[in-house]
Every structure is written in C-alpha cells, then in structure tokens.
Structure 1
C-alpha cells in the first residue's frame, strides 16, 4: 500500500547553486549530497515543516538518454519547466520578502478562486507557484 509521496525531482543545471538558492532564499535545508560514481550525484533538500518529502535536485543526464537530457536542458535554459507548488501563510508578504532577496517573479500575487497565487522562478528557471490557499468549491471556477 502506498502511504505518501516521499520524493520529487526538480531538474537544475548546477546542483550546488540550486541547493543554495532553495536553502538561502526559500528556507529549505540541505539533506543528502552523495557521489554515486560515473559523475552521478544525489543531492536532496527538505523543507523543515515537511521533512518526510525530499526534493531531488537532478541535472539532466543518466538515467535519461542523451536526447531527453538535451531536451530538459534546453527547457531549463528557456525557463519552460515547472517545479513545485509551495504553500504559504501570506502570499503578499512572502512575495515582498522574496522580492527583497532578489527572487524573480513572473506574476505578482493575484486573487484566484482557490486562494492568492504568485509565480516565481528559481535560479535555474523552473517556475514555482506560491499559494495561500482558501476554501473553494467547483462553482468558484464558473
């Protein structure tokens, strides 16, 4: 029986710089950093409020074939990949705090039927969604 999600992957171009971005700007904590031979490195981060969910920071490469890795790399360079949805207590305040740290936002906080949402980029170009959720029903979307 599946009990939960324990690992998600975010692709990046530089594991050190991306780990540092998530730790220094977003409050994550470095978790694993293990070299596993043939140039493969396992780097994970966790959020202190959800330590059971690790985020693997993976560079495009094996186990992807060369074409797939090249595609992922090109998408990262163009800022075309999604990353994570991050729950926040106060989206507008978090937007102000992260903007002051130099984080790039694609969308300022906006009211949505499901809460307040802002869209930002990490240092690799992945877009991340900040959401301050609120109760909603399907009728809120019509």
Structure 2
C-alpha cells in the first residue's frame, strides 16, 4: 500500500492574497482555482517541481478561523520548503520582498533560514545536506 499527504490546509484571510504571495512571491504553481459557491473556492498551490504535497488555501470563515491565521502551529515554524539550491532561492525571495526573520545558518541537517508569509506563518527555507 502507498499513501501520501496530498494537501495541507492553510487558512488565509483572502484567496487572492494567498495566491498573490504563494504564486507571485514564492513562485509556486497555481494547481487549481475552482469556484465552489459564492464564498468558497478550492485553491491548490505547490512549489515548482513538487508532485505530491500541495497547500489548500482556505479563506477564513468566522472569528475562530480568522483568529487562527498565522497561528496554526502555535508560533512555531509551521511549514518547510526544501530546495536544491538555498542561495539561489534565498536571493530570489529577498528580491521579491519575502520577509526573513533571521540570517541563513548552517545546522547539522542543512542550511536554513526562517521566513514569514504576510499572514504570520513561519516557514523554514532549507537545503538538506
């Protein structure tokens, strides 16, 4: 049997703001943007070259979901973007205005730096050794 996590839900304040950041700033592919109702869409994005796991951008509905934006991991790094060339991607992200919360550092597992999306979610950009 083979199983995989095909998507993770990321709560955002607005579908188009989510698409703007992930597609325009990070260079993710927009896999799908399907209208489900007057207020709901099915929006999937994924890093270029990714063939399995995607992010489902879900527009917050109600106070509880609004309050969860940027806090889905309780203040910890929530998501990890692996790359085959840290320096290339770090420079490209800086040039597009992505906010890094620290300078790149080398750890036993790879080169890494924490960045934040405009909604408050913390990410690791990481190149594993």
Q: What TM-score do you get using the length of structure 1 for normalisation?
A: 0.76
Partner residue in 2 for 1:71? 67
Moved over 3 A (4+): 73-76, 79-83
Pairing partner for 2:107 from 106, 112, 127:
112
The Cα of 1:114 is off from its aligned counterpart by: 0.6
The Cα of 1:55 is off from its aligned counterpart by: 1.1
For the Cα contact (< 8 Å) 1:118–1:131, is it kept in 2?
Answer: yes
Partner residue in 2 for 1:56? 56
Q: What TM-score do you get using the length of structure 2 for normalisation?
A: 0.83
Q: 1:28-83, CA deviations, whole angstroms, 9 ceiling, x for partnerless residues?
A: 1112222223622211112331133221011222xxxx56324314748xx94744
Instruction: Return the alpha-carbon distance in structure 2 between the equivalents of residues 37 and 94 of structure 1.
Output: 36
For the Cα contact (< 8 Å) 2:114–2:125, is it kept in 1?
Answer: yes
Instruction: Return the alpha-carbon distance in structure 1 between the equivalents of residues 20 and 114 of structure 2.
Output: 20
SS at match of 2:5: coil
SS at match of 2:123: strand
Between Structure 1 and Structure 2, whose CA radius of gyration is higher? Answer: 1
The Cα of 1:84 is off from its aligned counterpart by: 1.9
Gaps of 5+ in 1: 135-142
| CA RMSD across the alignment | 2.4
Gaps of 5+ in 2: none
When residues 129 and 100 of structure 1 are mapped into structure 2, their CA distance, relative to the original with a 3 A threshold, is same
Count, aligned residues: 128
